[in-house]
Amino acid sequence: MARYALKVEYDGAPFAGWQRQADQPSVQGAIEAALARLEPGPHTIAAAGRTDAGVHARGQVCHCDLSKDWTPFRLSEALNHHLRPAPVAIVAAARVAEDWHARFSARERRYLFRLAVRRAPMTLEAGQVWQVRHELAVGPMREAAEHLVGRHDFTTFRSSMCQAASPIKTLDALEIEKLETDWGMEIRFHLRARSFLHNQVRSIVGTLERVGAGAWAPQDVRKALSACDRAACGPVCPPQGLYLMEAVYPADPFGA
């Protein structure tokens, strides 16, 4: 058996999330079905991160084991052929060592959350951003975000259904970017960490939006973090603005 790493891009809108489910469409299920068209039999793939329903990816990474010796180009082309018309694409493939693991070999995950500030309904960007119709102050959001960077107990910012063994995580970076576009203002949240808790990013962004709207003060975010209480969290924002951008490994499996 040979092991291959796959870099995957997908629109999460039609899926119940990454993880295979018996009665709902999933990204994992779509890729495993495509693999079965190449080599008969059940296939089980592992991913760098399990994205929730409606969450997108630009650089999800997974690995699969195949009996046939495929060139990376032929493998990605064949999979993309069988993935049609699902909004899933294999943008790169690479042969990796037998002990390489998409999840356990990763050293960092990078997420992007896109928030659109606009009164008019979204059209071309519908389903790709979280839209709010009120003004947001970016300065206070940046001040509040500083309280979350570093190693903390993130109990306040994780789902009550989170299965992680510990709520203690290190958030390496949380940068907020303001963009003036031809359709309105976009605020982008860039987050980096070795790993994230379930709903951590959406909980953080939803809380920071309350700061930008003036409903919370920046210091309220520090107090919420210190409370270590899910009830102290702001609202969890919807999934459509969230993107898994990249999984980082000690050596890039897709490097030239």
Per-chain mean pLDDT for the chain: 96
Whether residue 170 lies inside any domain: the answer is yes
Alpha-carbon distance 134 to 152, whole Å? Answer: 31
Q: Are residues 20 and 131 in the same domain?
A: no
Segment 119-123 shows an average pLDDT of 95
* pTM over 0.85, yes/no: yes
pLDDT tens column, 211-227? 999 999 999 999 999 99
Whether residue 255 lies inside any domain: the answer is no
Residue 182: pLDDT band (50, 70, 90) is: confident
User: What does DSSP assign to residue 147?
Assistant: T
pLDDT at 236: 96
Residue 41: pLDDT band (50, 70, 90) is: confident
Tell which of 60, 90, 105 closes a domain.
105
**Spacing of C-alpha 15 from chain mean position:** 14
Q: Are residues 158 and 187 in the same domain?
A: yes
pLDDT at 124: 93
CB 116 within 8 A of CB 189: no
Whether residue 25 lies inside any domain: the answer is yes
Q: What is the CATH number of the domain that holds 120?
A: 3.30.70.660
Q: Are residues 212 and 94 in the same domain?
A: no
- The number of distinct structural domains making up the chain is 2
Q: Are strands 56-66 and 242-248 parallel, antiparallel or unpaired?
A: parallel
Domain assignment of residue 20, given as a range = 2-105
pLDDT at 217: 98
Asked if the model's pLDDT at residue 238 lies above 80, the reply is: yes
Q: Are residues 182 and 200 in the same domain?
A: yes
Of the candidates 131, 245, 111, 122, the one whose C-alpha atom is nearest the C-alpha of residue 187 is: 131
Whether residue 252 lies inside any domain: the answer is no
Active-site residues, by number, are: 52
Two structure tokens written together for 27? 């990204």
The amino acid at residue 211 is V
pLDDT at 256: 60
Asked if the model's pLDDT at residue 85 lies above 70, the reply is: yes
